[in-house]
Amino acid sequence: MIEIKSLKKIYNGITVVDIPHLEIRKGESVGLVGNNGAGKTTLFRMILDLIRPESGEVLSNGEVVAGHENWKSYTASYLDEGFLIDYLTPEEYMYFVGGLHQQSRAQVDETLTKLGDFFNDEILNRGKYIRDLSKGNQCKVGVASCLLQNPQLLMLDEPFANIDPSTQFRLKNMLKEANRSQGITTIVSSHDLNHITDVCERILLMERGIIIKDIATSSSTLNELEDYFGVGQTVSAGTVNVSIDKEENH
Ligand SMILES: Nc1ncnc2c1ncn2[C@@H]1O[C@H](COP(=O)(O)OP(=O)(O)OP(=O)(O)O)[C@@H](O)[C@H]1O
């Protein structure tokens, strides 16, 4: 579904993404992990043609995303609140997005009803504009608007970051359902190793713009990633030794 060829992005003389070749097949659920500044968002932005690479290209269903439009009809993404429209209420925004996808208000209402638990009574019929929602609730609106589009490709950048634990749990189930029951190809980035290994069947580990590991998720993947990121080791913080317990994350 997605093919990346010789992709390079350079900022201020520093190469921040460098991917010689990567293929993401239709129906895969891919998790992107890596420390701050590893290049995850920059990669997302190039896949969505929001920024142009210095060299190389991204193909979606065989078509270069830069300069073509077909991929936009089957791709839904939420990277940050910049994807929303601040002066609309969540309902108005959903009707707007539904309208772009030829959905009637009744169809949108049906989806919103199904998303009731996910919204947790905090978003709809509150008389609030999107700009007045918390970051977590804005994220819920963004994710919900993606699902409303019935996409073939769903891309979410750190969707677990600002949402509460019960919503994280619901979001994980929604992502699994989207991928496993509806066959939606999902690419999700996260710093939460538990969530990402739970949801994704393939993990790409990025470091300084390079994909250094491409792992088919198994029962040992979480440990492998925790070892890589140093979770569970004793970290010296001045005179105080802070022990990060691996079991905390289970
Ligand atoms: N517009 C920009 N101008 C200059 N440098 C940029 C720009 N956008 C990103 N970078 C740099 O590119 C590198 C990769 O950033 P990116 O946001 O893709 O990382 P990330 O893996 O998403 O990080 P995080 O986990 O913190 O979200 C960083 O060093 C960042 O400072």
- When pLDDT is averaged across residues 125-130 and rounded to a whole number, the result is 92
203, 225 in Cβ contact below 8 A? yes
pLDDT tens column, 76-93:
999 999 999 999 999 999
- When pLDDT is averaged across residues 211-235 and rounded to a whole number, the result is 88
The reply to whether ligand 1 has any atom less than 6 angstroms from the CB of 13 is no
SS3 label, residue 81: helix
- Lookup: tokens for 97: 């997005």
Specify the pLDDT at position 231: 78
Choosing from 42, 46, 50 the residue with most ligand 1 atoms within 8 A of its CB, the one to mutate for a pocket test is 42
Specify the pLDDT at position 250: 36
Q: Whose CA is nearest to atom 29 of ligand 1?
A: 37
The reply to whether ligand 1 has any atom less than 6 angstroms from the CB of 24 is no
Q: How many other β-carbons are positioned within 10 Å of the β-carbon of residue 102?
A: 7
Q: Whose CA is nearest to atom 13 of ligand 1?
A: 37
- When pLDDT is averaged across residues 176-202 and rounded to a whole number, the result is 96
Q: Whose CA is nearest to atom 27 of ligand 1?
A: 36
DSSP string across 53-77: -SEEEEEETTEESTT--GGGGTEEE
Choosing from 11, 48, 193 the residue with most ligand 1 atoms within 8 A of its CB, the one to mutate for a pocket test is 11
- Selection from 187, 212, 178 nearest residue 58 by Cα: 187
Does residue 233 carry a pLDDT above 70?
no
- In which residue are the tokens 């609030």 written? 128
Specify the pLDDT at position 58: 98
Total number of residues shown for the chain: 250
Upper half-sphere CA count for residue 215 (Cβ side, 13 Å) = 22
pTM of the model: 0.91
- Under the banding of pLDDT at 50, 70 and 90, the label for residue 200 is very high
C-alpha to C-alpha distance for 136 and 50, rounded to whole angstroms: 23
Burial-class residue 216 by CB neighbours within 10 Å (0-12, 13-18, 19+): exposed
Choosing from 41, 54, 79, 229 the residue with most ligand 1 atoms within 8 A of its CB, the one to mutate for a pocket test is 41
The reply to whether ligand 1 has any atom less than 6 angstroms from the CB of 210 is no
Phi, psi dihedrals of residue 16, rounded to the nearest 5°: -105, -15
